[in-house]
Structure 1
Amino acid sequence: MVEDQDIFLRYGAEYRENHKLTLVQLKAMSAIEKCRTSQLGGHVDVCDNCGNTEISYNSCRNRHCPKCQSLAKERWIDNQKSNLLNIGYFHVVFTIPDTINLMAYQNQKEIYTLLFKTVAKTLSELASDKKYLGATLGFTSVLHTWSQNLMHHPHIHCIVPGGGLSSTVKWINSKNKFFIPVKVLSRKFRGKFLYYLKQLYHQNKLEFHGSQAYLANENEFEALLSSTYSKEWVVYCKPPFKNSASVVEYLGRYTHRVAISNKRIINIENGTVTFKWRDYKDESKCKIMTIAADEFIRRFLIHILPSRFMKIRHYGLLGNRNKTTKLKLCKQLTNTPIIIKEKLSTLMLIQKLTGRDCSKCPICGSPKRSSPMELCKSPPRITKTA
């Protein structure tokens, strides 16, 4: 299988020589190149009973590495199960127009934070309005910055419960269809985002470079905002989930996804990369795209988030201040069983997911003896005996 790691190992050095990268982009590239290789060290597991020997190299654990997200995703999902209520959930997506995309990329931390803030305020304020629900929500938001062809496309996925807690401490269920009309969501979101964006501008918290330099002129910036305000912004709601188990499965698909998974990459040859993508503008047809390797790397690096930037956030009833009090009350009001979380070790989680006990020899089932390998050493020559 061809992987992102193979592309970086083959073309990464040349790309770094020809392009100026941020420190966080350099770190991500380095981590992906070294992931599960002898450069990060590892462990040698030996079975004293049958002599079977296995090498396990350490993972880089970088959140942008396709190899390192599966276990992180499963651990996160396992932790979130206790926060789900016995009700229906909706999937709502908020997208900013492409006229703001380049500005967003040049000001990632500020505008991605603004995107979270605007989405949260839009949902919370409309949900508290008795015209729509008249209650407090508890929802999770996840930032994605890519489209299927790896272009810059910032948007936020929200998992929203079909109901909330009223001011009189009663649970209010929403209608079968999403309780806030999409057009109302869109226009409220648009107005709030542009209002806060204008605030950032006048606080001198935005930077403009290259083709965006003209926006340093206030008249040009105001003109951009006016043209953007005149457009309808894209907000859509997918059909509700059938049950909480479906929510967990869906959350896993979105929370720890990276710009492109290894399974979508088909081939690398003659300085090009070929990968699969889904064209949502053409009836979601699955297509094949071939681009130059340096263009592939450029697109991949667009989606490296600022250091320590939180891409998953919880609001309302799921906020840290409310989890132990209001969320517990909501479980009682919705007849949701109380789940006592069991903290699983990595070995226990792998066994739960795969059914395999990694502490035992796969040949004879006896306990394995594990010893660490030194860093940056070539793997020892191993002779396996059954």
Structure 2
Amino acid sequence: MPRPKLEIADIFRAHGPAWRQANAGHVSLSQLKVMSAIEACRTDALGGHVAGCTKCGHHHIAYNSCKNRHCPKCQGPTARDWIEARAEDLLPVEYFHVVFTLPAEIAQIAYWNKRAVYALLFKASAETVMTTAADPKRMGAKVGLTSVLHTWGSAMTHHPHIHMIVPGGGLSRDGTRWVASKPGFFLHVRVLSRLFRRLFLDGLMALHQAGDLAFYGDLERLVRPDAFTAWLTPFRKSEWVVYSKPPFGGPEAVLAYLSRYTHRVAISNHRLVSADAHTVAFRWKDYRIKNGDRQKIMRLATPEFIRRFLIHVLPDGFHRIRHYGLLASGVRKANLTKIRALLCVQPVEQADNHDLEPEVAPLTLREPCPCCGGPMRIIEIFRRGQKPMSRAPPREQAA
């Protein structure tokens, strides 16, 4: 995919200083760190290396990435490496995509209490699926799942929800059989919705009783237990949105989906259309349109665009991808081995890298030469603030 003409980094570099000054005292340290990382990403501020082609002699300078998980430019390589690791975990069964969404009013509470409420969203949604699947009236099996947190809608508004990938089946209670779900069907959405609603609201009440929730503005009154209990009452009767999509076409489709969702940030550089000191324009999808073209152009004041991007910065150390049940990190390998034996399938073969020369492999880049397709080797490394001694020759001379 060609490099976009406009990037989030361009907007932050040009208009970030004025925005920080105007919002001094109202921006968290985590948000400031994200802005700084994105602004410095792939510039001489982070150092870099000079790569040379072993065939045609082409040289080019590459600056280091910031590797911040909120940076649009850094998520592609990170996602690629993560997907390659997850490919070993795929089973030859149907996979389902389940989405858990919070009501807009409760999402406001999450906005003020990100660490506590996002963690509760993970826990309640995972427990909902595992409890329902274990019910003998449903599937009667222990399942595994991978959950990914997204906090945005297409317009970068605050919209926390969980994307969950679940294999269509699980181990029997005694662990001796693979129990498959019905073809094309995982679990009843209404059952999931009601259990999720109860578990989440009970958990939210527990957070309130422990004094772990903060309230501001018009909802500051909810700090009182009686007011909070009364405010929650209507949500115990309303319908909560849980959506189960049709099963994927196969393991390759699961990986394609995961590559799009696991390491996504609030907006990609490719959605940007234009930006100046006053307005940023970007493409978005209007999901309210049922039939017709959902693609539209949204124009926001530049300060509002920066604000919307930064409200999706996660708390430091907060994991946005989590595994549960059979796929929990500590037991995943053993469970997958047992399941493959029950399904009579061979494990995914891993490439044998023992014959690689250790002193050469780390210096060979994954991307081939842009001129001839030959392997590229690192011929020089330079640190922050340094200039490379090897200068990249003009493109036509490198050939």
- TM-score, normalised to structure 2, is 0.89
Asked if the contact 1:163–1:173 (Cα under 8 Å) also holds between the matched residues in 2, the reply is yes
Asked if the contact 1:75–1:349 (Cα under 8 Å) also holds between the matched residues in 2, the reply is no
- 1:267-310, Cα deviation, whole Å (9 max, x unpaired): 11351000000111112711110000110011000111011110
Structure 1 residue 211, shift from structure 2 partner: 3.4
Question: In 2 relative to 1, CA 349–311 (structure 1 residues): closer, same or farther, beyond 3 Å?
Answer: farther
Asked if the contact 1:145–1:152 (Cα under 8 Å) also holds between the matched residues in 2, the reply is yes
Q: 2:357 maps to which residue?
A: none
Is 2:141 the partner of 1:145? no
Query: In structure 2, how many angstroms separate the alpha carbons of the residues matched to 1:238 and 1:364?
Result: 40
Letter in 2 for 1:145: T
Asked if the contact 1:48–1:369 (Cα under 8 Å) also holds between the matched residues in 2, the reply is no
Secondary structure in 2 matching 1:94: strand
Q: 2:86 maps to which residue?
A: 80
Asked if the contact 2:55–2:374 (Cα under 8 Å) also holds between the matched residues in 1, the reply is no
- When the two chains are superposed, the root-mean-square deviation of aligned CA atoms in Å is 2.2
- 1:66-87, Cα deviation, whole Å (9 max, x unpaired): 0001111010000001111100
Structure 1 residue 189, shift from structure 2 partner: 0.2
Letter in 2 for 1:215: L
Please show how residues 115-126 of structure 1 align to structure 2 within 5 Å: 115-126=121-132
Query: In structure 2, how many angstroms separate the alpha carbons of the residues matched to 1:155 and 1:364?
Result: 42
Query: In structure 1, how many angstroms separate the alpha carbons of the residues matched to 2:377 and 2:74?
Result: 24
Q: 2:183 aligns with which of 164, 167, 176?
A: 176
Asked if the contact 2:326–2:332 (Cα under 8 Å) also holds between the matched residues in 1, the reply is yes
Q: 1:132 aligns with which of 114, 128, 138?
A: 138
Letter in 1 for 2:186: F
Letter in 2 for 1:17: Q
Letter in 2 for 1:8: F
Asked if the contact 1:86–1:335 (Cα under 8 Å) also holds between the matched residues in 2, the reply is no
Question: In 2 relative to 1, CA 177–369 (structure 1 residues): closer, same or farther, beyond 3 Å?
Answer: closer
Q: 1:310 aligns with which of 312, 319, 340?
A: 319
Q: 2:356 maps to which residue?
A: none
Secondary structure in 1 matching 2:61: strand
Q: 1:5 maps to which residue?
A: 9
Query: In structure 1, how many angstroms separate the alpha carbons of the residues matched to 2:250 and 2:47?
Result: 43
Asked if the contact 1:143–1:154 (Cα under 8 Å) also holds between the matched residues in 2, the reply is yes
Q: Which moved more, 1:138-147 or 1:202-211?
A: 202-211
Q: Which moved more, 1:65-74 or 1:17-26?
A: 17-26
Asked if the contact 2:49–2:378 (Cα under 8 Å) also holds between the matched residues in 1, the reply is no
- TM-score, normalised to structure 1, is 0.92
Letter in 2 for 1:317: L
Structure 1 residue 23, shift from structure 2 partner: 1.1
Structure 1 residue 382, shift from structure 2 partner: 4.7
Question: In 2 relative to 1, CA 145–17 (structure 1 residues): closer, same or farther, beyond 3 Å?
Answer: same
Q: 2:329 maps to which residue?
A: 320
Q: 1:154 maps to which residue?
A: 160
Q: 1:15 maps to which residue?
A: 19
Q: 2:171 maps to which residue?
A: 165
Asked if the contact 1:99–1:228 (Cα under 8 Å) also holds between the matched residues in 2, the reply is no
Query: In structure 2, how many angstroms separate the alpha carbons of the residues matched to 1:24 and 1:205?
Result: 20
Structure 1 residue 96, shift from structure 2 partner: 0.6
Asked if the contact 1:44–1:56 (Cα under 8 Å) also holds between the matched residues in 2, the reply is yes
Asked if the contact 2:364–2:378 (Cα under 8 Å) also holds between the matched residues in 1, the reply is no
- 1:190-235, Cα deviation, whole Å (9 max, x unpaired): 0010001100100111112333322112222112211222210000
- 1:21-50, Cα deviation, whole Å (9 max, x unpaired): 111111111000010001011112356986
Q: Which moved more, 1:71-80 or 1:173-182?
A: 173-182
Q: How many residues align?
A: 379
Q: Which runs of 5+ in 1 are unaligned?
A: none
Question: In 2 relative to 1, CA 339–8 (structure 1 residues): closer, same or farther, beyond 3 Å?
Answer: same
Secondary structure in 1 matching 2:166: strand
Question: In 2 relative to 1, CA 362–145 (structure 1 residues): closer, same or farther, beyond 3 Å?
Answer: same
Secondary structure in 1 matching 2:336: helix
Q: 2:284 maps to which residue?
A: 277
Q: 1:104 maps to which residue?
A: 110
Q: 1:350 maps to which residue?
A: 366
Secondary structure in 1 matching 2:74: helix
Identity over aligned pairs, percent: 46
Please show how residues 17-32 of structure 1 align to structure 2 within 5 Å: 17-19=21-23, 20-32=26-38
Structure 1 residue 177, shift from structure 2 partner: 3.6
Question: In 2 relative to 1, CA 52–326 (structure 1 residues): closer, same or farther, beyond 3 Å?
Answer: closer
